[in-house]
Amino acid sequence: MRERTMTQVGRFGADGMELAAYRCVFALLQNGPMRSGELAETLLSDPSTVSRHVAQLVDRGHLERRSDPDDRRASMIAVTESGRQAAERMRLRRNQRLGAVVGSWPEGERAELARLLGKLLDGYE
């Protein structure tokens, strides 16, 4: 399913950034600034992969490193305004693609999809 999804939406976002890297931005938007190791745990991802994505996102100005107020030797990763804007563009793009797929479905089928997705998400929480 992942391969099919990547074929449909492309492997890269509108600005050429890997879609997988945007998971870092979305996680930080949802949870607030955190250390790289915490971000890897949140994403259930390998720390080296997260580190690579964070470096790319910092280079593009979507993330920034800040001093950790509790430990000056460590740094926290936070989303910049540019990162917020990039995340919003990705959300809009995703919503447009989803709308193109389900927009022609009968209302009952869209409601059933929403119900089932809610049930799936509840199972993860």
Query: Is pLDDT of 9 > 60?
Result: no
Instruction: Give the chain's largest Cα–Cα span.
Output: 56
Q: What is the pLDDT of residues 26-51, one digit of tens each?
A: 999 999 999 999 999 999 999 999 99
**Cα 55 from chain centroid (whole Å):** 15
* Alpha-helical segments (H) within the chain: 2-9, 19-31, 36-43, 47-59, 81-102, 107-124
Please check whether residue 36 is in contact with residue 28, taking contact to mean a CB–CB distance below 8 angstroms.
no
Burial class of residue 86 in the structure, from the number of CB atoms within 10 Å of its CB (0-12 exposed, 13-18 middle, 19+ buried): buried
Q: What is the pLDDT of residues 65-99, one digit of tens each?
A: 999 888 888 899 999 999 999 999 988 988 898 88
The CATH number of domain 2-124 is 1.10.3720.10: no
State the sign of the Cα–Cα–Cα–Cα dihedral 43, 48, 52, 54. positive
pLDDT of residue 94: 85
